[in-house]
Amino acid sequence: MDRSLEEASADLGASRWGTFRQVTLPQLFPAVLAGALLSFTFSFDDVVLSNFVTGPGATTLPLKIFSELRFGLTPRINVVAVFILTLTVSVILVAQLLLRRWGPGAATSAGTPG
């Protein structure tokens, strides 16, 4: 992160909260979003880890899918797979829209003459 942008914001009279909200957060947003998407993806990958970490009586979605698959493919698994795929694609599309709006260069390109 470029520290001079935060200093410039403070020099122009922005509060600490305003600097965080308007300068720091837009720079961190792509990294935070990528981390959230990766953690979501890894949670489906680690069925064995989920099995050890969850307590008795707790069932996570990856464990439920795995237990259903042991008995063969059912229409319920197909519905869950379509739902997860739709949810994942929707999250990625929303992330793209948010990055266009608040990502790096969004504020600078709006005010430059073209």
To the nearest whole number, what is the mean pLDDT of the chain? 78
Which residues neighbour 19 within 8 Å (Cβ) at sequence distance 6 or greater?
Answer: 6, 9, 10
3-class DSSP state for residue 112? coil
What pTM was estimated for this model as a whole? 0.50
The span from the CA of 91 to the CA of 97, in Å, is 10
- For residue 52, how far is the Cα from the chain centroid? 25
The pLDDT-based confidence of 49 (bands split at 50, 70, 90) is confident
pLDDT tens by residue, 77-103: 778 778 888 888 888 888 888 878 766
The segment with the largest mean pLDDT, out of 6-10, 37-41, 99-103, 110-114, is: 6-10
Specify the higher pLDDT residue, 8 or 95: 8
Alpha helices in the chain (DSSP H): 3-11, 16-19, 25-45, 47-53, 61-70, 75-102, 106-111
